A and B are shown apart, each in its own frame.
Chain A
Amino acid sequence: MGDSSGSVLTAALLCFFAMDEELERDERVFLLGEEVAQYDGAYKVSRGLWKKYGDKRIIDTPITEMGFTGIAVGAAMAGLRPICEFMTFNFSMQAIDQVINSAAKTYYMSAGLQSVPIVFRGPNGASAGVAAQHSQCFAAWYGHCPGLKVVSPWNAEDAKGLLKSAIRDDNPVVFLENELMYGVPFEMSEESQSKDFTIPIGKAKVERQGTHVTMVTHSRYVSHCLDAAAVLAKEGIECEVINLRTIRPLDVDCIETSVMKTNHLVTVEGGWPQFGVGAEICARVMEGPAFNYLDAPATRVTGVDIPMPYAKILEDNSLPQIKDIIFSVKKTLNV
C-alpha cells in the first residue's frame, strides 16, 4: 500500500494511513464494521488492512449495527481500543443508543470507574445522488451530547492527524468523514508524513487570513468557502476562513478572536439549519465578548430544510453552493 511519504494524497488514503499506523503502534487497536476486511472497505478506506493484520484485528460484521456497535463499546470497556466503522453515519441511527447511552455517558455515570476508548467513524452528510435516507448530516446530533468528542476533518492532513488523535484518545470520539472528500487530492506537508503526526482535537485552524468577514465552516464546505473567498478577493473582500476541525468541543476562542477582528460572521455547513452547528456558533458568539464587535447579525448558510431529493438539479439546490456563500457574505457586509 505504500507509506504516507508521497506529497499529494487523498483523504481516504490518509484515513487508511492513520489506521494502519495506529494498528501497528498499539495491538489493542482493532477495526470492525461492515465490509471493512475482505471487501477492502465500502469506500476502500481500509483496503489492505485485512491482508496485513488478519481476522483478529480487522473484523467484518453482519449487517447488525445495534449489535456490533454494542460489541465494540463492550470491547472498549474491557480494555481494547476499537475503531467502529459505520458504512455511513445514517446507519449509526440504528445504533445511536449504544453510542450515547453506553459509550458517551458511562465515564460520568461510573464517576470515573469505567472509561470507553472508542472511535466511531465513517462518512457523514450528503454524497451524490444517494437521496434522503443516505444523506443526513449528524454533526449537530452528536455535537449535542456531553461525553462525546465530535471531529470533522476537511482535507487529507486533517484526516490523518485527527484520526490518529481520535484513536489515541481515551474517550468516545465520533469521527465524521465525508465521502465526496475521500477522492480529493491534497498536498501533504513534510511534518504530516511522520508516524507521530497528530492534530489536537478541539482546535480549529484558520485556513485563510482575512479582514472583512469570518467564515466558520467544517468538512467539505471548507473547500467551498475557500473557493468563495477567492472569488470575493477579486472584488476586494478579504475573507477569513476557519476550518473548525472539531465540532465538540467547539474552539470558540478561535472564532471570537477572528470575529473581533473582522466584525462579521458567516457560518457554512451542509446540515439542516434548525438546532444545527451554525445555530450553536451564533449562540456562543452572542454570549461572549465578540458580540460587541459585530457590525451586523451573524448569518448561517446551511443545507435546505428538506429531506435530500434525488434528481441532480434538486440535489444541487439542496446544499450550499459557492454562489450562495458569496451572496450571503455580501448581504452580511451589506455590499
Chain B
Amino acid sequence: LEKHLISNLSRFVSLSIHLVINFPSLSLQGAALVMSARSYSDFTTQASFEIKKCDIHKLDEAPATEVVMTRDEGLQYYRTMQTMRRMELKADQLYKQKIIRGFCHLYDGQEACAVGIEAAINLTDHLITAYRAHGYTLTRGGTVREIMAELTGRRGGIAKGKGGSMHMYSKNFYGGNGIVGAQVPLGAGVALACKYFGNNELCVSLYGDGAANQGQIFETYNMAALWKLPAIFICENNRYGMGTSVERAAASTDYYKRGDFIPGLRVDGMDILCVREATRFAAEHCRSGKGPILMELQTYRYHGHSMSDPGVSYRTREEIQEVRGKSDPISLLKDRMLSNNMASVEELKEIDVSVRKEIEDAAQFATTDPEPPLEDLCNHIFYNDPPLEVRGTNPWTKLKSVS
C-alpha cells in the first residue's frame, strides 16, 4: 500500500512539474489536490467471465462457458504471458544479431495456449511438444536465463548448450523435439508409464496443424484409445504448417475430429480462459480413466515459421495485423482485468517493467556466459556408464566421454 502511495505521489509530482514547465499559465495553487490512492481492497478479487463454447466431437458435455478467474490468477497469467512474449521478441533480436544460430521457432501470439494448459494441470503431470517449445520450457519450470543461454549456446543453458532451441528439457517436460510428429507417440508412451505406475498423472502431447497429418499420430491415437492411456493430445492449429495453409495440407481441417474414435474439443486458443477450462475438462476426462482426449487450439503465430521465414509470402500482413488487433491473448486478458476492476493500468505497467528487466538480465547472461568447454564435447553419450574413449576427427585424437 505504501509503495502504491509513494509511486502515485511521485507520479503526481512529476505530472505537476510537467504541467508547470509546459503549461506555465496553468496554476496549481489552490487547486484541490485529490490523489486517489488505489488500495488493493479496491480491486475485485475474482470475477465471472463468459467464454466461447467449444465445438465437441463424440462428447455429451462441453467445458463450462461461465468461468471464474481470480485477481491473483489473472496477474500470474499476465506476467507469464508477457514474459513469454518478451522472451521470444528478445530471441528475435538476438537472432538478427547472429548471436542465436540455426533454428529458432518463435511462439509469440500463442502464449494463451502454453499458459492456459499449465494452469489446468500440475507440474507433476507430464508434457511434450514439438520444436516451437520455448514457451513450454518456461511454463514447465525453466527460467528465462537458462532458456536464453541455451539459445545462445552457452554452458549456462538448460541443456548446457548441447541441445539448442529445439532440445530443451526439464522435469516432466520431454522437450523440444525436432522431428515433426515423433513427439506424439513419445507422449503416449509417457502416458503409458503414468497408467503403469498408477500415479493419477497424465501426459499432454502437443503437435501442430502440419504434424496432424503424420501417420504415426494416427498409430498413436489407435493405441492410446485401445489401451485407454491418460493422454491429452493437443493440436495447436496456427493455420500454417511452415508455409502451407491448412486448406492446402489437410483434406479435413477439423483437427479436433481427426482422432475419430477419440473425443475432441475445438477451443479458442487466443483466450487463456478457454484454454484453461478446456484443459481442465480434458484432464478430468483422462484422470477418470476414460482414456485419451483430443483438443484443437485455434491460435496464431505472429512470426513466420522460423527466423528464416519472414512469414508474409504465404499470408498477408493484413491478416497478421488483424489478429494482433482483435485477438491478441495478452490484450484480451488485460482488457478483461481492467474492465472488471481486477488490476490497474499502473500495476500492469509495473509488471511490464519488471518483465522487461528480467529479460534484459537474462539476455545479458545469455550473451556473456561462456560457451561450453571443449572437454564437454563427448560427454553425455551414455548414462551411468564408465568413461569411454571417443574417436576424434582423426585417428590420433582420442577424446574422453563421461556420463
Give me the interface of A with B, judged by CB distance under 8 Å.
Answer: 30, 56, 59, 61-62, 64, 66-80, 97-98, 101-102, 106-115, 117, 146-147, 149, 170-171, 249, 287-288
Contacts and interface: CB of A to CB of B under 8 A. Distances in A.
A66 B169 contact: no
Contacts of A249: 388
A239 B161 CA distance: 50
Interface in B56-113: none
A102 B182 contact: yes
Contacts of B126: 78
Contacts of A79: 193, 197
B216 interface: yes
Contact of B188 (A56, A62, A71, A101): A71
Given A108-B381, A114-B169, A74 B192 contact: yes
B384 interface: yes
B119 interface: no
Interface in B183-209: 184-194, 196-197, 203
Contact of A109 (B159, B193, B219): B159
Contacts of A147: 381-382
Interface of B: 126, 128, 159-163, 167, 169-170, 174-175, 177-179, 182, 184-194, 196-197, 203, 215-216, 219-220, 222-223, 226-227, 376, 379-385, 388, 390, 395, 403
B314 to A, nearest CB: 27
Given A101-B178, A112-B403, A77 B381 contact: no
Given A62-B222, A68-B219, A111-B159, A97 B381 contact: no
Nearest to A78: B193
Given A107-B383, A110-B175, A70 B184 contact: yes
A30 B170 CA distance: 25
B147 to A, nearest CB: 14
Given A102-B177, A109-B162, A70 B216 contact: yes
Contacts of B167: 109-110
A76 B189 contact: yes
A52 B188 CA distance: 26
B382 A74 contact: no
A64 B178 contact: no
Nearest to B166: A109
Nearest to B220: A67
15 contacts: A62-B222, A66-B216, A68-B219, A70-B182, A71-B186, A71-B220, A74-B174, A77-B190, A78-B190, A79-B197, A80-B192, A109-B167, A111-B160, A111-B162, A170-B382
B380 A108 contact: yes
A72 B182 CA distance: 12
Contacts of B382: 107, 147, 149, 170-171
Given A30-B196, A74-B174, A108-B162, A66 B179 contact: no
B193 A75 contact: yes
Given A75-B193, A108-B162, A111-B163, A171 B383 contact: yes
B192 A71 contact: yes
A64 B215 CA distance: 10
- Give the top 6 A-B pairs by smallest Cβ distance, nearest first: A74-B189, A70-B185, A67-B219, A78-B193, A74-B186, A111-B160
Contact of A77 (B163, B186, B395): B186
A145 to B, nearest CB: 11
A97 B190 contact: no
